[in-house]
Amino acid sequence: MPEPSSLHLNLWKKNLHHVPASVWKQTELKTLVLADNGLTEISDEIGCLKQLRMLDLGHNQLTNVPETIGDIEDLSDFLYLHDNRLNSLPASLARLKKLRYLNISENAFTQLPESVTALTNLIELRASDNQLTTLPNSIQQLSRLRELHLRNNQITSLPEAIGMLHELRQLDLRGNPLTHLPTTIIHLPKLEKLDLRWVSTLAPSAISQIDNLEAQGCIVYK
């Protein structure tokens, strides 16, 4: 039986600039879309929406996310934070242990927040179009991750810990100034697609790694 429409609030592109206080009173909401509204801040009261499964705050002008986001522990399906002005995330984000999809692309991150790598149920992580130079060793905690999108960052190298992502199917590294690949990349048993287009800085030693991956059935775009 479909859920009542009252559980799903779509305020996409309503030119709000500020979220009405009435939104935070709808504590039964399962999905909330606030994308593309010129928002510069989100109230701490967002933590009252404890039954949310999907939250879309993309395409706004947010410079921070309130700590109370960690109170939405049922958030499981999607969290969109892309196309904002974020360079950090609250430590409380780590409490969203059910979350499967996170998009933080098109922001100003210079490093991947540790709170992101604590989201051990993530299946897909999108962090493209930021200013990342590498990934933390804690990336290995994302043992269920199937897709990792890192296009258009400033990544010169990846940690050997990436070899622990045994469920990884797709790795997008397009447009990064990579000089080499981690030796453990050939230990990703389920890797199907590795995208290295617009990467012109790889050392010759990477060629043999790419050959080995292709021999294992991985499609390498280069």
Q: Give the domain CATH number at 79.
A: 3.80.10.10
Structural domain for 118, as ranges = 1-131
Please check whether residues 206 and 101 belong to one and the same domain. Answer: no
Question: For residue 1, is pLDDT > 60?
Answer: no
Average pLDDT over residues 101-114: 98
**End-to-end alpha carbon distance in the chain:** 47
Q: How far is Cα 202 from Cα 181, in angstroms, rounded to an integer? A: 8
Please check whether residues 85 and 193 belong to one and the same domain. Answer: no
Q: Do residues 92 and 114 make contact, with C-beta atoms less than 8 angstroms apart?
A: no
Average pLDDT over residues 150-171: 98
pLDDT at 6: 82
Here the tokens at position 150 are 């890192």
Q: Is 181 left (phi over 0), alpha (psi -120 to 50) or beta?
A: beta
Output b/e per residue, 94-104; b: 16+ Cβ within 10 A: bbbeebbbbbb
Question: For residue 142, is pLDDT > 70?
Answer: yes
Collect all residues with Cβ–Cβ distance below 8 Å to 180 and sequence separation of at least 6: 157, 202, 203, 205, 206
Long-range Cβ contact pairs of 180-187 (< 8 A, separation 24 or more): 180/205, 180/206, 181/206, 181/209, 181/210, 182/157, 182/158, 183/209, 184/160, 185/158, 185/209, 185/213, 186/212, 186/213, 186/216, 187/163
pLDDT at 4: 74
Q: How far is Cα 133 from Cα 155, in angstroms, rounded to an integer? A: 4
Please check whether residues 123 and 204 belong to one and the same domain. Answer: no
Judged by DSSP in three states, 161 sits in helix
In a domain, 144, yes or no: no
This prediction's pTM: 0.96
Average pLDDT over residues 104-109: 98
Q: What is the pLDDT of residues 192-211, one digit of tens each?
A: 999 999 999 999 989 999 99
pLDDT band at 152 (very low <50, low <70, confident <90, very high): very high
Range list of H helices, 120-220: 206-215
Please check whether residues 81 and 162 belong to one and the same domain. Answer: no
Range list of H helices, the chain: 114-117, 206-215
Number of domains in the chain: 2
Please check whether residues 39 and 78 belong to one and the same domain. Answer: yes
pLDDT at 5: 75
Considering the chain, what is the average pLDDT of its residues?
A: 97
Q: How far is Cα 17 from Cα 146, in angstroms, rounded to an integer? A: 35
Please check whether residues 123 and 212 belong to one and the same domain. Answer: no
pLDDT at 148: 98
pLDDT at 205: 87
Q: What is the pLDDT of residues 59-94, one digit of tens each?
A: 999 999 999 999 999 999 999 999 999 999 999 999
Residue 120 Cα distances to 83, 97, 101, 123, 182, angstroms: 24, 6, 11, 9, 22
Q: Do residues 139 and 159 make contact, with C-beta atoms less than 8 angstroms apart?
A: yes
In a domain, 50, yes or no: yes
Please check whether residues 94 and 38 belong to one and the same domain. Answer: yes
